[in-house]
Amino acid sequence: MLNPEGLKVAGYVDVAKRIIDLALFGAAQNRSYRRLADFTDTIGNRVSGSKNLEKAINYMYDAMRQDGLDVHLEPVKIPHWVRGEESAEMIEPRPKHLAMLGLGSSVGTPPEGITAEVLVVQSFEELKRRAGEAAGKIVVFNQPFVSYSETVAYRAFGASEAAKVGALATLIRSITPFSINSPHTGWQDYQNGVKQIPTACITVEDAELMARMAQRGQRIVVRLTMGAKTLPDADSFNTVAEIKGWQHPEQVVLLSGHLDSWDVGQGAMDDGGGAMISWEALSLIKDLRLRPRRTLRVVLWTAEEQGGVGAQQYYNLHKVNVSNFDLVMESDLGTFTPLALQFTGSDAARMVMEEVVKLLAPINVTRLESHGEGTDISPWMETGVPGASLHVADDRYFWFHHTEGDTMTVQDPREMDLCSALWAVVAYVVADLQEMLPR
C-alpha cells in the first residue's frame, strides 16, 4: 500500500509526463543543447575575474529575461588569477617540449624561468623519504590516478609539500584516468607560512616518461617559465532567475550550476551543461504554464572553480532564511545520461524523495542514491537543508575535465534533454508538495 507521502506524490504522474514529453519530444527538444552551444560558442571560456566571465553573466542575464523569467544579479568579490605566458622544456637527457598548464593561484617564475634538475616521486610518502634530495630541484609528482577525490590532493597540496623540503617548483601529473598528452589545470592551495613556489600540471605521458628516465638513473633537467600572477579581487555576480511560488513565495527550491570555467576549452561540460539544464528546468515549467506553491530559484554561481567563492557569499547573505530553503540542487559532474538522483537529507525526507523519483519511470531513472553533492550547495547541506545532485554516466568526465578538450563536442542533445527533464520534474514536484521536505 502507498504511504501518505506516496499518495500525495502519485498525484503528479500526469504533470511529470507532460514535462518529460515537452523536454524529449516537444518544442523543447534539443533546446538546452542549442542554448549551451550558442552560449559557449559566443563567449568561450570564462575564468574567475576575466572579461569573458563578465560577458557570460550579462549574456545569461539577458537570455533568461528574454525567456520571461524574473532575473536579478547579486554582487560578490572573486579571485582574479591570470595565467600569462608559460612553457616547460626538458633539456636533459634530451630536448623535449612538455605540454603543461599552470595551476590556479600559482605564482610565476622569474622572467628567465627556473632551470633545475628534476626529482621524480610517486607519492607524498616518497617525497618525505627522499626529502634530502629535493632542495634546489623541480619536483615531479607521478602519482597514479586512484579517484578524483583522492588523487586531487597532489594538485591541491603538491607545491606546498615540495616547498617544505626546499624544491624550487613542482610539475604534477594531471588528475585524470586517460590522456592523449592533454594537461589538466585546476585550483591549488598554498599553505600558510610555507614558501610559495610555481606549480603546473604536465601530462600523464610526460610524467611517466620522466619516471622511467629517473629509474634508469638518467639526470633530468627542465626549464619552467610561468608568467602567472594574482591581481586584486574582482567584482562579479551570482545570476539568479525565479518563478515565484503562488502560496509560499518565501520558501525556495534552488537549482544550480556554475557559470565560470577554467581558461581552456569552452567550459561546455564543466559546467555550462549544469547551468543550462537548471535554466531549462524553469523554461519547461514556464512553457507548461505551471506555477508551484513555492518559489523555484535558479542560481548560476560565479567563481566555483576557486573553491565555491560566489556560493559561499550567497550562503552568508541568505542563511538568515535557512529555514525557508526546502531543497538545494546542483549539477556539476556533467550532463551525460542520467542514472540516478543523489540525495542528502533526513530519513523522512528520503521517503518523500523515493516517491518523487518514481515519477521518472518514463525516462527510466527511478533510483535514489545517498550523498547529494556539490561545492556550491555544501554550506546549505551542512546546516541540514536537503541536497540533491545528478548521478550521470560520467566515466569520461575526467578525461576532458579542466582541459582544452572541454568543448561542445563532448555534449549530446538527447542526454541533456534527459537531464533537463529529471531536473524539472524533481524541482517542480518538491516545490509544489503541501509540506516542505522534513529536516
pLDDT in tens, the chain (439 residues): 457 777 799 999 999 999 999 999 999 999 999 999 999 999 999 999 999 999 999 999 999 999 999 999 999 999 999 999 999 999 999 999 999 999 999 999 999 999 999 999 999 999 999 999 999 999 999 999 999 999 999 999 999 999 999 999 999 999 999 999 999 999 999 999 999 999 999 999 999 999 999 999 999 999 999 999 999 999 999 999 999 999 999 999 999 999 999 999 999 999 999 999 999 999 999 999 999 999 999 999 999 999 999 999 999 999 999 999 999 999 999 999 999 999 999 999 999 999 999 999 999 999 999 999 999 999 999 999 999 999 999 999 999 999 999 999 999 999 999 999 999 999 999 999 999 999 9
Q: Which domains does the chain have, with CATH numbers?
A: 4-81+232-432 (3.40.630.10), 85-227 (3.50.30.30)
C-alpha cell at 45: 571560456
C-alpha cell at 95: 630536448
Query: Cell 555534449, residue?
Result: 411
C-alpha cell at 337: 545520461
Q: How far is the CA of 293 from the CAs of 65, 152, 244, 277, in angstroms?
A: 22, 42, 8, 21
Q: How many CB atoms lie within 10 A of CB 88?
A: 25
Q: Is 295 helix (H, G, I), strand (E, B) or coil?
A: strand
Q: How far is the CA of 155 from the CAs of 10, 90, 101, 186, in angstroms?
A: 47, 21, 12, 8
- Note the pLDDT tens digit of each residue in 104-132: 999 999 999 999 999 999 999 999 999 99
Q: Is 81 helix (H, G, I), strand (E, B) or coil?
A: strand
Predicted pLDDT of residue 179: 98
Half-sphere exposure of 434 (CA within 13 A, CB side): 7
Question: Which string of b and e fits 409-439 if b means at least 16 CB within 10 Å?
Answer: ebbeeebbbbbbbbbbbbbbbbbbbeebbee
Q: How far is the CA of 346 from the CAs of 99, 359, 386, 391, in angstroms?
A: 47, 21, 8, 20
Q: How far is CA 174 from the centre of its chain?
A: 17
66 burial level (CB within 10 Å; 0-12, 13-18, 19+): exposed
1 burial level (CB within 10 Å; 0-12, 13-18, 19+): exposed
At residue 78, what are phi and psi to the nearest 5 degrees?
-135, 155
Q: How far is the CA of 436 from the CAs of 107, 300, 349, 380, in angstroms?
A: 47, 23, 9, 15
C-alpha cell at 343: 540525495
Predicted pLDDT of residue 6: 73
Per the CB < 8 A criterion, the answer to whether 12 and 438 are in contact is no
- Note the pLDDT tens digit of each residue in 200-209: 999 999 999 9
Predicted pLDDT of residue 46: 98
Please state the pTM of the whole predicted model.
0.97
Query: Cell 591581481, residue?
Result: 231
Element (H, E) at 422: helix 413-432
Predicted pLDDT of residue 7: 74
Dihedral of CA atoms 284, 289, 292, 298 in degrees, nearest 10, equals 40
Q: Which residues are catalytic?
A: 304
Rounded distance between C-alpha atoms, residue 60 and residue 68, angstroms: 13
Q: Is 40 helix (H, G, I), strand (E, B) or coil?
A: helix
